[in-house]
Amino acid sequence: MRFYYSLKILAKLRWFFVIMFLTIMISGIWLIGNIKGLAAEQGQSLTSVEIREYQGEDLSSIIDFRENSIRGSQKVNIDEYRLEIIGLIKEAKTFTYQDILDNNKHYKKVATLYCVEGWDAKILWEGVLVRDLIGIDNIKPEAKTVIFHAQDGYTTSFPVDYIMDNDILLAYKMNEIILPAVRGFPFQLVAESKWGYKWIKWVTKIELSDDEDYQGFWESRGYNNEGDLDESFFK
């Protein structure tokens, strides 16, 4: 009898280890597929692999981010995409995705996004300068604030001086991979020295305004309007 029960226990353990093995295998396949899927989402080769080191600095992975957007990942039709520069400027501008890539100098920099949820990610970003898109001489004197609008209705803002006096990128690549949709394709703002809620994704419009008190999505819900890392993100 004791031998019989031992066999039953061994049989159950066998199935336990089989299930565990299959779970590990499926998880591994999912992880690899997810990395490749993120790289391929915008037409990149499945052999594209993100870099994890740049000039001696270790980098986070593009899958180290948490999905916390207000309406989930956005799918932008790049053939119909237009970035508008509007508001208190001398000449309004409209760019296609390719216009931006072809007619502006590209820059790379390592910058860390710090989320208010307690996680962070150090990434090599590549993009164009926001001030180059707007044009320093194109801003009217009464403009005080730069408001960014996103595909999903999200907004956030910065003082004009922050955008004009710093090399603030509108990024189209991270870790040498074109931004996947979940990471903000076609463009994410790299708002250095600011909390993650200022790093707006899926940017569709940049507006110059005289409203110094403008409050974006989270700012109107109690978050600090400045969003500086050396200050609390709550008002």
Domain coordinates in residue numbering, the chain: 1-40, 53-221
Domain spanning 53-221, CATH architecture: Alpha-Beta Complex (3.90)
Name the E strands within 48-138: 53-54, 57-58, 83-87, 93-95, 107-114, 120-129
Calculate Rg over the CA atoms of the chain: 22
Question: 63-108: per-residue pLDDT in tens?
Answer: 999 999 999 999 999 999 999 999 999 999 999 999 999 999 999 9
More confident residue, 27 or 211: 211
Question: What integer is the mean pLDDT of 167-172?
Answer: 98
C-alpha span between 215 and 226 (Å, rounded)? 10
